[in-house]
Amino acid sequence: MSQILIQDVRLIDPINRVDRESCDVLLRDGVLAELGSGLEASPETVAVRRPGSVVSPAFLDLHCHLRDPGQPWKERVGRATAAAAAGGFGAVCAMANLVPPVDTVERFRAAQREAKAFARVTVLQLGACTEGLEGASPAPLEELARAGAVAFSDDGRNGIGLEVLVRVLRRAADLGRTVAVHPEDEQLLARVNPEGEDPGRWHLRPPDAELSAIERALQALRIVPQARLHLQHISTARGAELVRQAKAEGLPVTAEVTPHHLMLSGAELEAKGRPVSRCNPPLRTEADRTALWEALLDGTIDALASDHAPHELAPAEERAPGFSGVQLVLSAVLGQGGAGAHLPRLVEALSAGPRRVLGEPGRETGGEGLRTGEPASLTWFDPACHWTPDASNWLSLSTNTPFWGETLRGCVLSTFSRGRMVHLNPELVPELARA
């Protein structure tokens, strides 16, 4: 029998509304056996202590591009999910925009097979909203849900019009599934970008495209108010304001923000001069960035999501948009040292928030929070420790992150997912590495 006693941690469990100093956590064969103060270590127990560290429910990432099957040179399921575990995530939502997209049951099963064979953490696979992500006709949502789709999204694309979106919301509502929308109005983008190119590669992506897409999605939600609508990677102050108003109106809408939109303006990214391309939607102004923080802290934005988008480094004109980064979500947002009083809210946005977005399909990932007698799904991290993403510790196959080589704050010590230790930092917790 293996027993691990993590001593004297701060327990932040937003799911059960617990925030408690000096707590001990006893794990017995992967089960969360006891929580309490002054728990005794028996002779066979490995006791570990790291002052100032935190134990929380395992993080859940709402927005991960695994690229595999389809583009194995960009990312592999094993690499992305090892990076996720090292980032404190016990589960990730895999987007449907694989090549080809997950818009049929056969493709869904192929993605599941890959995940089953190689994933380190729980992979919650999404299905496409529409065939080919093109927005013209709904995908077989009922069949995809029966096969296990936890939610639906055409992420990466937004070619969907009001009428089709209403149909998708209606059917997803009957299935108890959330519809996640990438809010960049493709019709508006098509008017300002050159014809013929892949819409994902269009360079001109004005804030109005976000606003127009959010407004249309909310309009659809008013027609189907029993649905669950989630707005992905909000990038503008006005976008966040629309979400705030919609929530005040009582609409069942949720939203996420990425660490890069929170931490960097477009000008700051430019100034870094790293060969990492850009992202969709783009990084905006300093005023937008500040407004996104406010929206995250006041609960307008429910979740922090990585939008892990691995791509090979390429010459500037060939670079695909997006950043690899599931490993550094926590560290990026703690990066400026501003965590302090906000730490519980950030943990909430990484654990309870994303599960609220998914509803029922997110429960099996540790959705009950830190409950004794259950297989452990938890993240143990030290918010004060520093690390630098570089070739010695980076786990994703692609290194396209604007945070490469920068000193970040916050190290994940260990992650448990459904009773399995899926990550351990052997340098920071050598006692467990030896055990």
Q: Which stretches of the chain bind Zn ion, using CB under 5 A?
A: 155, 182
Please confirm whether the linkage preceding 383 is cis (ω < 30° from 0).
no
Assess contact for 154 and 129: CB atoms under 8 A: yes
- Conformation bin of residue 328: beta by default, left when phi > 0, alpha when psi is -120 to 50: alpha
**74 or 182: whose CB is closer to Zn ion?**
182
Cα–Cα dist 84/424, whole Å: 12
Q: Of 24, 61, 307, 382, which residue is the catalytic one? A: 307
Measured from the CB of residue 260, what is the shortest distance to Zn ion in angstroms? 12
Residue 178 backbone phi and psi in degrees, to 5: -80, 145
**236 or 415: whose CB is closer to Zn ion?**
236
* Count of CA atoms in the C-beta half-sphere (13 A) of 145: 19
Q: Residues with Cβ < 8 Å from 259, sequence gap 6 or more?
A: 304, 306, 325, 328, 329, 332, 333
Tally DSSP H helices, then E strands, for the chain: 14, 16
The SS3 call for residue 315 is coil
**84 or 370: whose CB is closer to Zn ion?**
84
Measured from the CB of residue 232, what is the shortest distance to Zn ion in angstroms? 5
Measured from the CB of residue 89, what is the shortest distance to Zn ion in angstroms? 18
Measured from the CB of residue 370, what is the shortest distance to Zn ion in angstroms? 31
> Cα–Cα–Cα angle for 104, 110, 83, nearest 5°?
120
Q: Taking the mean position of all CA atoms in its chain, how far away is CA 130?
A: 22
Residue nearest to Zn ion (CB): 182
Helix/strand/coil (H/E/C) assignment for every residue in 398-415: CCCCCCCCCCEEEEEEEE
User: DSSP secondary-structure letter at 202?
Assistant: -
Measured from the CB of residue 276, what is the shortest distance to Zn ion in angstroms? 17
DSSP H helical segments within 75-231, as ranges?
A: 77-86, 105-118, 141-147, 162-175, 186-192, 207-223
User: DSSP secondary-structure letter at 284?
Assistant: -
Beta strands at 122-125 and 54-57: parallel, antiparallel or unpaired: unpaired
> Which residue's structure tokens are 């090292």?
86
Instruction: Establish whether 307 is a catalytic residue.
Output: yes
Assess contact for 334 and 21: CB atoms under 8 A: no
Assess contact for 266 and 286: CB atoms under 8 A: no
**320 or 347: whose CB is closer to Zn ion?**
320
Active site residues: 307
